[in-house]
Protein backbone atom coordinates (compact mmCIF):
# COMPACT_ATOMS: atom_id res chain seq x y z
CA UNK A 1 0.00 0.00 0.00
CA UNK A 2 1.27 3.45 -0.93
CA UNK A 3 1.69 6.09 1.77
CA UNK A 4 1.77 9.81 1.03
CA UNK A 5 1.84 13.17 2.82
CA UNK A 6 -0.73 15.95 3.04
CA UNK A 7 0.90 19.10 4.38
CA UNK A 8 -1.22 21.96 5.72
CA UNK A 9 1.86 24.06 6.57
CA UNK A 10 0.96 24.58 10.24
CA UNK A 11 2.08 27.77 11.96
CA UNK A 12 3.15 27.15 15.54
CA UNK A 13 3.03 29.64 18.38
CA UNK A 14 6.18 31.75 18.53
CA UNK A 15 6.90 31.42 14.80
CA UNK A 16 5.37 32.81 11.62
CA UNK A 17 4.15 31.79 8.20
CA UNK A 18 7.56 32.06 6.57
CA UNK A 19 8.91 29.55 9.11
CA UNK A 20 6.00 27.22 8.34
CA UNK A 21 6.59 27.37 4.60
CA UNK A 22 10.31 26.63 4.94
CA UNK A 23 9.46 23.71 7.21
CA UNK A 24 7.14 22.37 4.52
CA UNK A 25 10.08 22.22 2.11
CA UNK A 26 12.20 20.50 4.75
CA UNK A 27 9.45 17.98 5.53
CA UNK A 28 9.09 17.19 1.82
CA UNK A 29 12.75 16.18 1.74
CA UNK A 30 12.18 13.96 4.80
CA UNK A 31 9.19 12.39 3.04
CA UNK A 32 11.21 11.68 -0.09
CA UNK A 33 14.04 10.08 1.91
CA UNK A 34 11.44 7.98 3.72
CA UNK A 35 9.97 6.74 0.39
CA UNK A 36 6.54 8.35 0.58
CA UNK A 37 4.84 8.34 -2.81
CA UNK A 38 3.51 11.88 -3.13
CA UNK A 39 3.50 15.18 -1.23
CA UNK A 40 0.46 17.44 -1.44
CA UNK A 41 0.05 20.94 -0.02
CA UNK A 42 -3.32 22.33 1.01
CA UNK A 43 -4.99 25.69 0.35
CA UNK A 44 -6.32 27.67 3.30
CA UNK A 45 -7.06 31.36 3.69
CA UNK A 46 -7.44 33.79 6.57
CA UNK A 47 -6.17 31.60 9.42
CA UNK A 48 -3.25 32.10 11.82
CA UNK A 49 -2.77 28.32 12.04
CA UNK A 50 -2.07 27.34 8.41
CA UNK A 51 0.37 29.16 6.12
CA UNK A 52 -0.23 27.92 2.58
CA UNK A 53 -2.73 30.18 0.84
CA UNK A 54 -1.28 29.45 -2.62
CA UNK A 55 -0.30 25.84 -3.40
CA UNK A 56 0.82 26.90 -6.87
CA UNK A 57 3.60 28.93 -5.21
CA UNK A 58 4.73 26.28 -2.71
CA UNK A 59 4.60 23.34 -5.15
CA UNK A 60 7.49 24.48 -7.39
CA UNK A 61 9.65 25.25 -4.33
CA UNK A 62 9.07 21.73 -3.04
CA UNK A 63 9.56 20.13 -6.45
CA UNK A 64 12.83 22.01 -6.91
CA UNK A 65 14.02 20.89 -3.48
CA UNK A 66 13.29 17.21 -4.13
CA UNK A 67 14.06 14.80 -6.97
CA UNK A 68 11.58 11.95 -7.24
CA UNK A 69 8.51 12.35 -5.05
CA UNK A 70 5.30 13.46 -6.77
CA UNK A 71 4.23 16.94 -5.70
CA UNK A 72 0.82 18.50 -5.95
CA UNK A 73 -2.13 20.37 -4.54
CA UNK A 74 -4.38 18.95 -1.90
CA UNK A 75 -6.03 20.92 -3.23
CA UNK A 76 -6.74 23.92 -5.40
CA UNK A 77 -10.12 25.34 -4.36
CA UNK A 78 -11.46 25.74 -7.89
CA UNK A 79 -14.39 28.12 -7.17
CA UNK A 80 -11.88 30.91 -6.44
CA UNK A 81 -10.28 30.74 -9.91
CA UNK A 82 -10.86 30.55 -13.62
CA UNK A 83 -10.44 27.06 -15.06
CA UNK A 84 -8.10 28.41 -17.74
CA UNK A 85 -5.76 30.03 -15.21
CA UNK A 86 -5.50 26.82 -13.17
CA UNK A 87 -4.88 24.80 -16.34
CA UNK A 88 -2.11 27.16 -17.46
CA UNK A 89 -0.39 27.20 -14.05
CA UNK A 90 -0.33 23.41 -13.68
CA UNK A 91 0.63 22.92 -17.31
CA UNK A 92 3.71 25.06 -16.65
CA UNK A 93 4.51 23.20 -13.44
CA UNK A 94 4.28 19.92 -15.34
CA UNK A 95 6.67 21.19 -17.99
CA UNK A 96 9.19 22.22 -15.34
CA UNK A 97 8.85 18.96 -13.37
CA UNK A 98 7.76 16.28 -15.87
CA UNK A 99 5.90 13.28 -14.53
CA UNK A 100 5.77 14.60 -10.96
CA UNK A 101 2.86 17.07 -10.72
CA UNK A 102 -0.61 16.34 -9.33
CA UNK A 103 -3.56 18.72 -9.54
CA UNK A 104 -6.18 17.82 -6.97
CA UNK A 105 -9.14 20.20 -6.96
CA UNK A 106 -11.87 20.77 -4.44
CA UNK A 107 -15.14 22.62 -4.16
CA UNK A 108 -14.77 23.88 -0.56
CA UNK A 109 -13.69 27.50 -0.01
CA UNK A 110 -10.81 26.66 2.32
CA UNK A 111 -11.92 29.59 4.45
CA UNK A 112 -14.84 31.26 6.20
CA UNK A 113 -17.59 32.96 4.14
CA UNK A 114 -16.18 36.49 4.61
CA UNK A 115 -12.72 35.44 3.42
CA UNK A 116 -14.24 33.58 0.48
CA UNK A 117 -16.10 36.76 -0.48
CA UNK A 118 -12.89 38.81 -0.18
CA UNK A 119 -11.24 36.41 -2.64
CA UNK A 120 -13.85 37.17 -5.29
CA UNK A 121 -12.84 39.49 -8.11
CA UNK A 122 -16.44 40.66 -8.63
CA UNK A 123 -18.09 41.48 -5.29
CA UNK A 124 -21.33 42.88 -6.66
CA UNK A 125 -23.02 39.56 -5.95
CA UNK A 126 -22.24 36.09 -4.62
CA UNK A 127 -20.12 33.84 -6.80
CA UNK A 128 -22.11 31.30 -8.85
CA UNK A 129 -22.26 27.70 -7.67
CA UNK A 130 -21.03 26.22 -10.95
CA UNK A 131 -18.32 23.82 -9.83
CA UNK A 132 -19.32 20.98 -12.22
CA UNK A 133 -19.07 23.35 -15.19
CA UNK A 134 -15.71 24.69 -13.96
CA UNK A 135 -14.36 21.17 -13.55
CA UNK A 136 -15.56 20.11 -17.01
CA UNK A 137 -13.86 23.13 -18.57
CA UNK A 138 -10.63 22.45 -16.65
CA UNK A 139 -10.54 18.85 -17.88
CA UNK A 140 -11.23 19.96 -21.45
CA UNK A 141 -8.09 22.11 -21.34
CA UNK A 142 -5.87 19.55 -19.62
CA UNK A 143 -7.12 16.47 -21.45
CA UNK A 144 -7.18 18.22 -24.86
CA UNK A 145 -10.90 17.66 -25.25
CA UNK A 146 -12.05 21.19 -26.01
CA UNK A 147 -14.46 20.99 -29.01
CA UNK A 148 -13.00 22.53 -32.15
CA UNK A 149 -15.99 24.87 -32.49
CA UNK A 150 -15.87 26.02 -28.86
CA UNK A 151 -15.17 29.73 -28.42
CA UNK A 152 -12.22 28.87 -26.14
CA UNK A 153 -10.77 26.19 -28.44
CA UNK A 154 -7.55 28.04 -29.27
CA UNK A 155 -6.83 28.52 -25.55
CA UNK A 156 -6.40 24.77 -25.10
CA UNK A 157 -2.85 25.02 -26.50
CA UNK A 158 -1.40 25.13 -22.99
CA UNK A 159 2.17 26.36 -22.44
CA UNK A 160 3.50 23.15 -20.89
CA UNK A 161 2.52 20.73 -23.64
CA UNK A 162 3.11 17.84 -24.05
CA UNK A 163 3.45 17.50 -20.26
CA UNK A 164 0.34 17.59 -18.08
CA UNK A 165 -0.59 17.03 -14.44
CA UNK A 166 -2.54 14.09 -13.08
CA UNK A 167 -5.96 15.45 -12.12
CA UNK A 168 -7.73 14.36 -8.91
CA UNK A 169 -10.97 15.24 -7.19
CA UNK A 170 -11.01 15.88 -3.45
CA UNK A 171 -13.98 15.38 -1.22
CA UNK A 172 -15.43 15.04 2.24
CA UNK A 173 -19.07 14.48 1.24
CA UNK A 174 -21.06 12.14 -1.05
CA UNK A 175 -21.34 14.48 -4.05
CA UNK A 176 -17.62 14.64 -4.74
CA UNK A 177 -17.50 10.87 -5.14
CA UNK A 178 -20.38 11.01 -7.62
CA UNK A 179 -18.57 13.55 -9.78
CA UNK A 180 -15.26 11.67 -9.59
CA UNK A 181 -16.97 8.47 -10.74
CA UNK A 182 -18.80 10.17 -13.60
CA UNK A 183 -15.68 11.92 -14.90
CA UNK A 184 -13.25 9.02 -14.42
CA UNK A 185 -11.04 10.79 -11.90
CA UNK A 186 -9.02 9.35 -9.02
CA UNK A 187 -10.67 10.27 -5.72
CA UNK A 188 -9.10 11.50 -2.49
CA UNK A 189 -11.40 11.52 0.53
CA UNK A 190 -10.67 13.61 3.63
CA UNK A 191 -11.30 11.09 6.40
CA UNK A 192 -9.67 13.51 8.85
CA UNK A 193 -12.62 15.85 8.22
CA UNK A 194 -15.39 13.27 7.86
CA UNK A 195 -14.62 9.76 9.15
CA UNK A 196 -17.82 8.43 7.59
CA UNK A 197 -16.62 8.34 4.01
CA UNK A 198 -16.34 4.59 3.39
CA UNK A 199 -19.84 4.32 1.80
CA UNK A 200 -18.99 7.22 -0.51
CA UNK A 201 -15.81 5.46 -1.61
CA UNK A 202 -17.77 2.27 -2.27
CA UNK A 203 -20.31 4.13 -4.38
CA UNK A 204 -17.46 5.78 -6.30
CA UNK A 205 -15.96 2.38 -7.13
CA UNK A 206 -19.33 0.89 -8.07
CA UNK A 207 -20.30 3.68 -10.47
CA UNK A 208 -16.87 4.53 -11.85
CA UNK A 209 -16.73 5.38 -15.56
CA UNK A 210 -13.23 4.73 -16.97
CA UNK A 211 -11.33 7.57 -18.60
CA UNK A 212 -8.13 7.45 -20.64
CA UNK A 213 -6.05 9.06 -17.86
CA UNK A 214 -7.65 6.85 -15.18
CA UNK A 215 -8.97 3.53 -16.55
CA UNK A 216 -9.74 2.05 -13.11
CA UNK A 217 -11.03 3.59 -9.86
CA UNK A 218 -8.40 4.78 -7.41
CA UNK A 219 -9.11 5.83 -3.82
CA UNK A 220 -6.93 7.74 -1.41
CA UNK A 221 -8.06 8.08 2.21
CA UNK A 222 -6.44 11.06 3.93
CA UNK A 223 -6.08 10.50 7.68
CA UNK A 224 -4.78 12.44 10.65
CA UNK A 225 -1.91 10.57 12.36
CA UNK A 226 0.71 11.33 15.01
CA UNK A 227 3.37 8.77 15.78
CA UNK A 228 6.07 8.70 18.47
CA UNK A 229 8.23 6.10 20.19
CA UNK A 230 5.42 5.26 22.64
CA UNK A 231 1.66 5.66 22.84
CA UNK A 232 2.14 8.00 25.81
CA UNK A 233 4.53 10.33 24.00
CA UNK A 234 2.29 10.43 20.92
CA UNK A 235 -0.72 11.36 23.07
CA UNK A 236 1.36 14.12 24.63
CA UNK A 237 2.32 15.51 21.21
CA UNK A 238 -1.30 15.32 20.06
CA UNK A 239 -2.42 17.73 22.79
CA UNK A 240 -1.31 20.72 20.68
CA UNK A 241 -3.58 19.95 17.73
CA UNK A 242 -6.41 18.95 20.08
CA UNK A 243 -6.36 22.34 21.75
CA UNK A 244 -6.11 24.18 18.41
CA UNK A 245 -9.00 22.30 16.82
CA UNK A 246 -11.16 22.47 19.94
CA UNK A 247 -10.91 26.26 19.80
CA UNK A 248 -11.38 26.19 16.02
CA UNK A 249 -14.75 24.50 16.41
CA UNK A 250 -15.66 27.17 18.95
CA UNK A 251 -14.83 29.90 16.45
CA UNK A 252 -11.38 30.87 17.79
CA UNK A 253 -8.37 30.58 15.50
CA UNK A 254 -4.90 30.26 17.05
CA UNK A 255 -1.44 29.08 15.99
CA UNK A 256 -0.56 25.54 17.10
CA UNK A 257 0.26 25.85 20.84
CA UNK A 258 3.22 24.26 22.65
CA UNK A 259 2.58 20.96 24.40
CA UNK A 260 2.69 22.22 27.99
CA UNK A 261 0.22 25.01 27.26
CA UNK A 262 -2.09 22.56 25.49
CA UNK A 263 -1.92 20.08 28.36
CA UNK A 264 -2.93 22.82 30.81
CA UNK A 265 -5.84 23.80 28.56
CA UNK A 266 -7.07 20.23 28.16
CA UNK A 267 -6.71 19.65 31.92
CA UNK A 268 -8.89 22.67 32.57
CA UNK A 269 -11.51 21.48 30.07
CA UNK A 270 -12.19 17.80 30.81
CA UNK A 271 -14.11 16.01 28.10
CA UNK A 272 -12.60 18.18 25.35
CA UNK A 273 -10.75 15.28 23.76
CA UNK A 274 -13.87 13.11 23.75
CA UNK A 275 -15.92 15.87 22.12
CA UNK A 276 -13.30 16.42 19.43
CA UNK A 277 -12.96 12.69 18.83
CA UNK A 278 -16.69 12.46 18.19
CA UNK A 279 -16.28 14.87 15.28
CA UNK A 280 -12.92 13.87 13.81
CA UNK A 281 -10.87 10.69 13.74
CA UNK A 282 -7.22 10.93 14.75
CA UNK A 283 -4.70 8.10 14.81
CA UNK A 284 -2.26 8.57 17.68
CA UNK A 285 0.32 6.18 19.10
CA UNK A 286 3.49 4.15 18.73
CA UNK A 287 4.54 2.77 15.33
CA UNK A 288 2.71 -0.51 15.96
CA UNK A 289 -0.43 1.27 17.14
CA UNK A 290 -0.45 3.67 14.19
CA UNK A 291 0.23 0.99 11.60
CA UNK A 292 -2.65 -1.15 12.87
CA UNK A 293 -5.04 1.82 12.84
CA UNK A 294 -3.99 2.95 9.35
CA UNK A 295 -4.49 -0.59 8.05
CA UNK A 296 -8.01 -0.60 9.50
CA UNK A 297 -8.83 2.66 7.73
CA UNK A 298 -7.36 1.35 4.48
CA UNK A 299 -9.52 -1.76 4.75
CA UNK A 300 -12.58 0.32 5.57
CA UNK A 301 -12.18 2.39 2.40
CA UNK A 302 -10.61 -0.36 0.26
CA UNK A 303 -8.03 2.38 -0.23
CA UNK A 304 -5.28 2.11 -2.81
CA UNK A 305 -3.28 4.71 -0.90
CA UNK A 306 -3.26 6.42 2.49
CA UNK A 307 -2.32 10.08 2.80
CA UNK A 308 -1.22 11.29 6.22
CA UNK A 309 -1.62 14.77 7.71
CA UNK A 310 0.26 15.48 10.94
CA UNK A 311 0.06 18.62 13.06
CA UNK A 312 2.22 18.90 16.16
CA UNK A 313 4.07 21.81 17.77
CA UNK A 314 7.66 20.65 17.30
CA UNK A 315 8.92 20.37 13.71
CA UNK A 316 11.44 17.66 14.59
CA UNK A 317 8.70 15.60 16.21
CA UNK A 318 6.58 16.06 13.08
CA UNK A 319 9.38 14.85 10.84
CA UNK A 320 10.06 11.93 13.18
CA UNK A 321 6.39 10.95 13.14
CA UNK A 322 6.52 10.49 9.38
CA UNK A 323 9.81 8.61 9.61
CA UNK A 324 8.44 6.20 12.22
CA UNK A 325 5.33 5.49 10.15
CA UNK A 326 7.46 4.84 7.07
CA UNK A 327 9.64 2.45 9.06
CA UNK A 328 6.58 0.69 10.48
CA UNK A 329 5.33 -0.02 6.96
CA UNK A 330 8.76 -0.88 5.58
CA UNK A 331 8.74 1.85 2.97
CA UNK A 332 11.78 1.87 0.75
CA UNK A 333 12.71 -1.76 1.33
d(CA 40, CA 24): 10
Q: How far apart are CA 253 and CA 246, in angstroms?
A: 10
- DSSP-derived pairing of the beta strands 101-106 and 166-171: parallel
Residues contacting residue 248 through CB under 8 Å, at least 6 positions apart: 49
Contact predicate 80/89, CB 8 Å: no
pLDDT in tens, 301-326: 999 999 999 999 999 999 999 999 99
Distance CA 89, CA 5 (A): 22
Residue 92 counted as domain residue: yes
Residue 245 in domain = no
Model pLDDT for residues 142-194, shown as the tens digit of each residue: 999 999 899 999 999 999 999 999 999 999 999 999 999 999 999 999 999 99
Q: Is residue 261 part of a domain?
A: no
- Is 107 inside a domain boundary? yes
Q: Does some domain include residue 258? A: no
Please indicate, yes or no, if residue 35 is contained in any of the structural domains: yes
CATH number, domain containing residue 64: 3.20.20.30
**Residue 315 Cα distances to 20, 280, 312, angstroms:** 9, 23, 7
Instruction: Indicate whether 278 belongs to any domain.
Output: no
Domain, as residue range, for 180 = 2-222+287-329
Residue 108 confidence class, pLDDT cut points 50, 70, 90? confident
Identify whether the C-beta of residue 53 lies closer than 8 Å to the C-beta of residue 64.
no
Report the domain count for the chain: 1
Determine, yes or no, domain membership for 304. Answer: yes
Amino acid sequence: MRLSVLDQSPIVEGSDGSDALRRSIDLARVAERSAYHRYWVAEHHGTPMLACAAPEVLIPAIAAGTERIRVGSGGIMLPHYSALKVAEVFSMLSALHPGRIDLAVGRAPGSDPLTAFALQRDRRHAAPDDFPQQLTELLAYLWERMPADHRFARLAALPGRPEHPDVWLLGSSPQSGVWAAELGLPYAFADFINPGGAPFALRYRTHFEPSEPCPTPYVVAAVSAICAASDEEAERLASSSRMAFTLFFQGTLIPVPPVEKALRFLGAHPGTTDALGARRRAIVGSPATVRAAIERVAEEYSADEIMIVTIVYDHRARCRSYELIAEAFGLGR
